[in-house]
Structure 1
């Protein structure tokens, strides 16, 4: 064993560990009944090392090698797909980090940690929410809500961060949803970011809300309640104002 370890550039301890795991067990024995490492074990040892370098654990190597129809080529094909998925996950995580960094107004600006985590959680499920919204909105509207253009995405992120910050600070300060300051801040946010095409009829809105619930539930319940009540009040006031404008316009026309 020690001679084989030297040739394979490894240690006796490693070979014993591999043998205990059952992934490298010599099949031949000498006259004294001792296991003998041959050329086959040398090839097997290096295939194990290669697979480890591709990111497989010893446990995964053992499990896959015991499956019917196992071959080294099939194993690297499977691992290729695993690595592609990992790379996609890493790329997405880096993109999310870059998005968060880009919405900071300056290097010294500190973002509220709780709000920041809420924003990043919402980013995690954007694709799933996008797929759901395709059933209720035209592609053009969905693309405006979830833009691919990074400059537009940055603006959406800042708007989302702003409304979460407004709600979170209001809750922490003990402000009520109908508080004039809260309503004023939300109105400013609506004027800057709201798009009329986002509206859907009441029946579809209820269905859409139910389908999005698994993703909106990442927000704390008290924050969701506060935002729902605040926007309901704002919507009612906006509708009242619209009716007033409509009546005034009719009087002028007469």
Structure 2
């Protein structure tokens, strides 16, 4: 198919297809002597997946990295994309339902509690995304979002539950010293949880994250909901953890 035909079939602009070719994201199977781009059936499959990834919020750089990976499996990707789109649709359905209920609440037809007003609007893992992108780069956050998007609703609830349990446990240990074995075991659990489910934290970045807990009032307020002074307590415990793991070389690298 010629570029114009592909553009009409997928309802995208010819300029977009030219751009995809220029950045090496979608190279036509053949270019005629006259300069016409010709797209194969395989090209169309790839374009379909690119557009699905775009709909799911992936940037072009990340999409290129995914589809050019030697281990990339098209069939598996379509299955995953379907799951992600279903999850996105379910979330949108819940938010639409929430809007309908809120409109009735405003007109006095029903009464919503504060909790009910925010049903379907779980932003727990995205609250500081903009700042995280600034601090650690788009690729790291895109990878985190990709990991989270692959989780089922049940798995996301389990992840959220483990998050809460770790914070409640740390809050219960605030009367102990940050150096105590119990506190350090709890902080190690937090360190492992972050590395297993979000991004790879070096000891230096983990220490820096702890400093952010007390330097940024948004983090402090959010963490202290689990117990007054928890942010400061965790920050100190995270520093101790980094000190112990670095075997006393903390002064050179972190202080």
Using structure 1 for the length normalisation, give the TM-score: 0.35
More relative contact order, 1 or 2 (CA 8 Å, 6+ apart): 1
Using structure 2 for the length normalisation, give the TM-score: 0.35
